[in-house]
Chain A
Amino acid sequence: MSTMEGYNFAYLDEATKRMIRRAILKAVAIPGHQIPFGAREMPLPYGWGTGGIQVTASILGPQDTLKVIDQGSDDTTNAISIRRFFRRVAGVATTEHTAEASIIQTRHRIPERPLREDQIIVYQVPQPEPLFRLEPRRAETKRLHALADYGLMHVRLYEDIARLGHIAKAYDYPVMVNGRYLMSPSPIPAFDNPKMDRMPALQLFGAGREKRIYAIPPYTEVRSLDFEDHPFRPIRAPHACALCRSTDTYLDEVITDDAGGRIFVCSDTDFCAERQAAAAPKEAAE
């Protein structure tokens, strides 16, 4: 597909990209720290990934191969729209295979296949402030970050255990980055948190409405908050994938009929498909 006429490469003008790249560089230099940036109006509503798209647009080059996933899937409306958007405004190659992508923009998941040093993952972030629900004053949350005063976040986890017997946060589970900044990992399942720790790929986070960018450089320590006697546990549905039989991936529950029938399948469609393809010749041979 050819690039659309009348737009700069990857939609954003070069000055805007430079501004965003400066924010990204600063974010990489201070892992987990939220950097404000001048988010532009995008041809997409807030909540559809405008922050992630701007980050992607700013780092994208003509040689890149882009993969976009939404809840682990390459073929949801949101993922397809964004992929098509970049194909039209940048003319870059796109893929559905994690292994082939140089940039992966994601909403709500980290691919199951481990990422490599030559890859970058861009997260779409609705609310970058992990203390948002605990401390409504923005100036005060900034001060708490500046002073690394994070007792409040543990109070929240304490409250969960006191009321429910366990930490109830199943997604957007707060992490400490490089032992310094408390960070929202975006609404990925807590199951994915361990993948962030010392990940070889660069991790970038963009929040369009909130106008914040933050980052985790490769091989940075990322720790999920917990208590010694209530350690962090990545949670997944206790089933095997109905399609690929995987027992160590994150599963979606799919309702199959009106009679209460349901199955569990891998949320990462690409990973699931690869496993099925690898298993198929064996089954065919039997």
Chain B
Amino acid sequence: MMPALRTEGLAKAFTLHLQGGTHIPVLEGVDLAVHPGECVALWGPSGAGKSTLMRCLYGNYGAGAGRILLRHRGADLDLVTADPRLVIEARRETIGYVSQFLRVIPRVATRDIVAEPMIARGVPKDDALASATALLNRLNLPERLHGLPPATFSGGEQQRVNLARGFAPGYPVLLLDEPTASLDAANRAIVISLINEAKAQGAAIVGIFHDAEVREAVADRLFDVLPIQDAA
């Protein structure tokens, strides 16, 4: 079976022009492959570049070298070199990303925030709103909050909004950056079942899970991300 997402020789370094051009290599020669139905947990000490890798996989960071090949519309799309418009199309249809923090859109109701990516994929508005409501309920977000913008929600509530937004469309590839960091045990269990259901439906998942319980419950294997020793 073709991997849904793979990298070949991926490298990433930062050049800080404001600090005299300091060059910081973070990733080098990363070869990762994730197949449909599989969940790979990135594993390594903090600062090793797990989040950087996740952001590269989503196209949020550019890559210094190598390829990031996403199965999109039945072909490989290299996110490193793809036209921004194609990256946006891939994000709409193929690849989702749940970050630790919700980037708040002012004045938009929670239900609409969750429904928006589904509507963008062509789901009729009423259906999208109905599944948004169902998923928010499942994540135990009180219904009275659904109509409010999440700006003033607690960290845990915002994370659940973020999760709902990421899981609702059913992306074939899903990136999860510490999806359970601010959640209690009951909600963690719900997230575990969401991940397992997505896998069962054939989603390829890459995650950073600091929580050992969650990691063991969802990850099929670990992928080592190690700090580059010879940082010049």
- The answer to whether A and B touch directly, with their CB atoms under 8 angstroms apart, is no
